[in-house]
Structure 1
C-alpha cells in the first residue's frame, strides 16, 4: 500500500501548517482523493507522531511507564523538562507541528470534496469524507489532551477546520470538545455507508475498501466519541457510544483467541490482539524502530521496567500469573521487563505484522464501567471481568466492590492493557490523579500541559 501511493503523495506530504496546498492536480479524480486520504494515514505513522512518540515513546515516558534514569532520549522527558532541555522541546514541537501538518492535509480533502461529488463511485464520497472528518476530530482531541488543561473552561488549542494562511485563534477546551464531537457526529453520519456495518472488512471490487477494521470505520468513530464524551464528563453519551460498539464487538471485533497468542512460534502470535482493534496503523518499518528501543537497543536507548514494579502491576503473586499481557506481550530480560507487544519476528504472520493499535474494544468496557460507578457497580464489575476473562485471569472481581475499589480496578486495567499505547497520560490527566502510578511527584498543569512551540506563541493568538 505504501509503495502504491508513494508516487502520488510525495509532492504534498511535507506541507507545513498555515501554507496552501496545491490540489488542482491531486484532487481531480476519485483516485486522487483516495491517495490523499491514505497519505494522511501515512503522516500519522511518522516517529514524531503515532509511529513512536504518541504511542510507546514520549507519551509512555512522561507517564512514568519506564525506568528512564539512564535513558539518553527519555530521561529528561520523564522529569518534565519541557522547556529547559532542547531535545525534549524539539520532541514536543515535533508533535505539535506534525499534527497540524496532518490537519492541513485533512482539511485540504474536506475543503474540496463537496464540490466534487460527481467524480465518486459507489459510497466512496461518504466514506472518504467520513474518515477525513474523523481524522480531524481524532487529531484535535489528542492535541487537546496533550497541550491543554483538563479544565475545559481554560484557553486550549486552535481548532483548524479549513486550509488557510490565516492564524487561527485558540479556543477554550469546551469549544474544542464541541467541535470534536460535531466532526465525529458528521463522520458517523457519512459512515452509515461503511461496509463494515454489514460485516465486510474487505472488498473484492475495490482495494481501497480493504482493512476496514483498521481504518477509521463507523465503530471506531463511535469509540472515539465515547472517549471524548468521558473527557468532558458526559457519562450518559459516553456510555451510549461505548455500548453501541460493545454490542457490535463479537461480530466485528472478536476477543483474542488463546490459540492466537499462545502459539509456540512467535511468528504466529497476535501480539497486539489485532482482532480487537477498532483503529490501528500499519507501520511498515516497525521492526527497525522497535528493535532500537526494545530488542537490539544500546543501554542508553533501552526502554524497560524493573521486574519488581512490573510484576506488582500485573499482580503476579495473586491473580495475574497467567495474564496474557504479562506472559505473552511482555518479556523478562535479566532483572527487567521489556514490552514485547510490538516485536516483529522474521516471517511474521501478515495478519498481525506492523500494527500499532490506537483504539481497542477493551477500552469500551472500561469507559462503560467508569460510567456505571456509583449507579450500578455490579455492571461495572461485570464489564471488567469480561476483559479479564479474555486475558487469562480466572479469578473474577467481586460484585460488592465500593465505588473507590471499582475505580482502582479500572486504573489497574488501564495500566496493564495499554502498555506502549500512550493512554496512561490522558487517563491520569482526565481523572485528576495526584500522581502517576509509582511516581510520587504532584501533578499540576506544569507537568500535564505541554508547551506550544515558541513560534506559535509569537503570533499572540
Structure 2
C-alpha cells in the first residue's frame, strides 16, 4: 500500500532540490493526470474492471493450506510449505501478499470514485453511472472485509482491524478497530444497494443480490444475527439451491445455479492453477485431508465427487486423492473454472447459524441443504444448541471446502486448527494451532511495518 507513495515522495524530493519554484509547476510527464483519467463512462468502466482484475484466488488457497482442509503429500518437494507448517512471519510472502493486493484494488476503486464525481453525464447515462458507483462501493467494502478476515487480530469489538481507506492519498494510516471496519463496510454496502438496479444480473460483477450476500457474510462475522438472517433470506428467496443433477456442473462451468457472484477466468489466465493445488507436470502440492474426506457420504453425497477425485493409478509417493473442485471444462486445463465467490449454499448455512444463535429454525435450514446434496437423506433432530452449532460447523467444512472459509470459520468460533495425525505426516509436527498462538492470525507484511509509522503488528509476532 505504501511502496508507490515512497517512490513518489523520493521523486518529489529530488525535483525540489533540482528545479526552481517555477519548474515545480510543470505537470509530471510519466503519470496520468487524475482530472483527465476519467472523462466518460467508458473510462469509468475500465477503471472499475481494473479493480476487479486484482481479485484472485490467493486467500481461497491460503484458507485451505493453513487449515485442516488439505494435507501435504510426500510428492510435494517443490513448493514453499511455511504456510501449511504455520512457520510464517511478517516476511512470508505466502501469507502477506494479499495485503498489498487488496489495497491496490482499493486504491484503484478510490481513484475511480474520485474521478466519477468530476464527469458530466447526460440524463440517459445516469442509470449506468449509478450502477458503476454502486459496484465500486460494494467492491471497496468487500476488499476491506477480506483484509479484515485475513489480517484482523480477532473478530470482535476492540480488536485490531485494518485501515479503511476511502480516498487515494499519501499517508500513514493507523489500523481501525474491528467494529469501525465493519461499520464502514456496512455503510458502503447499503449505499451500493441504492445504486445497483435489480435488473442488472451479470454474475461476473457485483449485482444487488451479490451485495446482499456480502451483507449476510459480514453480519455473520459481526455476530449480528438479525441482519445475517435478513440478508441471507433475501438471497435464498431469489436464488434457489441447485438440484443434485445441476450441482456438479457448477464446478465445470456448465451450470450457474445458485452462483451469486463469480470471478470469470479464461484460458489465458495464469492465476488459476493453485486453486487446483497442483503444479505443471502433475505434482500434487496439497491433497484433500483425510479429516475432510471422512466427513462425506461418498456414495450418496453429490458434493464428494464434485470436490474430490480418487485416482488409483497414482502410486508410490503420489497422493491418490486430489482436489477436483474448479477443474473446469476439461481435465487438460485444471483450475480454469470460474471462481465462485458467493453461493446460495453458504446463505443457508449463514442463516442456520444465525438462527441457532437466536430463535429461528436452524435445523430446518440445515436439513434443507443436506437434502439437496444427499440422496435418501432423512431429516435430523438435534438435542441442544451446542450439538446443532457443531453440526452446522461440520456442514460448512463440507459444503464450503476449498472456497476460502475453513481457517476463518475456526477463528470465528475461537477453535483450534486440529489436524489428524495421518494428515500431518509431512508437517514436522504441525498438528494443532491454538488460538493463543501468533499464527492464528496472518501477519501484516514487514514492509508495511517498516514504512508506516502509525501501524502495529498483530500480537505475538
Shorter-chain TM-score bucket reads: 0.7 to 0.9
The equivalent residue for 2:242 is: 256
Structure number with larger C-alpha Rg: 2
Tell me what 1:30 maps to.
Answer: 41
Pair 1:376–1:310, CA change in 2 (3 A): same
Moved more, 232-241 or 333-342: 333-342
User: Among residues 430, 439, 444, which one is paired with 1:447 in the alignment?
Assistant: 439
Unaligned runs of 5+ in 2: 9-30, 313-318, 421-430, 455-461
Alignment correspondent of 2:58:
53
Paired residue for 1:226? 216
- Matched-pair contact (CA < 8 Å) for 2:310–2:321: yes
Whether contact under 8 Å (1:69, 1:75) holds in the other structure is no
**Which residue pairs with 2:315 in the alignment?**
none
Whole-angstrom distance in 1 between the partners of 2:309 and 2:163? 41
- Are 2:390 and 1:408 aligned? yes
Do the aligned partners of 2:141 and 2:188 also contact (CA within 8 Å) in 1? yes
The C-alpha deviation readout for 1:196-229, integer Å capped at 9, x for no partner, is: 4xxxx3xxxxxxxxxx223111111111111111
| Separation (CA, whole Å) in 2 of partners of 1:366 and 1:342 | 21
User: Is the aligned partner of 1:158 residue 2:163?
Assistant: yes
Residue aligning to 2:410: 428
Residues 365 and 148 from structure 1, CA distance in 2 versus in 1: closer, same or farther, beyond 3 angstroms?
same
SS for the counterpart of 1:383 is helix
Instruction: Say whether the 8 Å CA contact 2:288–2:308 is kept in structure 1.
Output: no
Matching residue of 1:205? none
Offset, 1:294: 4.5
Spell out the pairing of 1:266-281 with structure 2 (5 A cutoff).
270=252, 274-281=256-263
What is the rounded CA distance, in whole Å, between the counterparts of 2:394 and 2:375 in structure 1?
13
**CA deviations over 1:356-399 (Å, ceiling 9, x no partner):** 0111111111111111115446x111111221122134323323
Range with greater deviation from structure 2 (320-329 or 97-106): 320-329
Deviation at 1:437, TM superposition (A): 5.7
Which position in structure 1 is the counterpart of 2:205? 215
Paired position in structure 2 for 1:3: none
Does structure 2 retain, via aligned residues, the 8 Å contact 1:310–1:337? no
SS at match of 1:390: helix
2:401 is matched with 419
1:80 aligns with 2:80: no
Q: Whole-Å Cα distance in 2 between the matches of residues 331 and 347 of structure 1?
A: 12
Q: How many angstroms apart in 1 are the aligned matches of 2:199 and 2:161?
A: 36
Matched position secondary structure for 2:262: strand
After TM superposition, the score normalised by the length of structure 1 is: 0.80
Q: Which SS does the other structure have where 1:36 is aligned?
A: helix
Match of 1:207 in 2: none
Determine the C-alpha separation between the residues in 1 that align with 2:270 and 2:102: 23
2:66 and 2:86 in contact (8 A); partners too: yes
Matching of residues 22-421 of structure 1 within 5 Å: 22-44=33-55, 50=56, 52-55=57-60, 57-68=61-72, 70=74, 71=76, 72-73=78-79, 75-83=81-89, 89-116=92-119, 118=121, 121-150=125-154, 151-191=156-196, 193-196=197-200, 201=201, 212-250=202-240, 255-261=241-247, 270=252, 274-285=256-267, 293-294=276-277, 297-298=280-281, 301-306=284-289, 308-314=290-296, 316=297, 321-334=299-312, 336-346=320-330, 354-373=337-356, 375-376=358-359, 379-421=361-403
Q: Distance in 2 between matches of 1:29 and 1:372?
A: 46
SS at the partner of 2:263? strand
Counterpart CA distance in 2 for 1:262 and 1:32 is 38
How far apart, CA to CA, are the structure 2 residues paired with 1:261 and 1:124?
Answer: 33
Distance 1:388 1:456 in 2: 44
Change (3 A) 1:367 1:261: closer
> Is this contact kept in 2: 1:279–1:358, CA < 8 A?
yes
Q: Quick check: 58-67 or 117-126, which moved more?
A: 117-126
Structure 1: runs of 5 or more not aligned: 1-14, 45-49, 202-211
Please name the residue that 2:14 is paired with.
none
Give, in whole Å, the separation in 2 of the partners of 1:421 and 1:64: 13
8 A Cα contact 1:271 1:340, kept in partner: no
- The 10-residue stretch of structure 1 (68-77 or 365-374) with the greater mean CA deviation from structure 2: 68-77
Secondary structure of the residue that 2:246 maps to in structure 1? helix
Which residue pairs with 2:427 in the alignment?
A: none
- After superposition, the CA RMSD in angstroms is 3.0
3-state SS of 2:71 partner: coil
Distance 1:262 1:101 in 2: 34
> SS at the partner of 1:116?
coil
Asked whether the 8 Å contact 2:172–2:453 carries over to 1, the reply is no
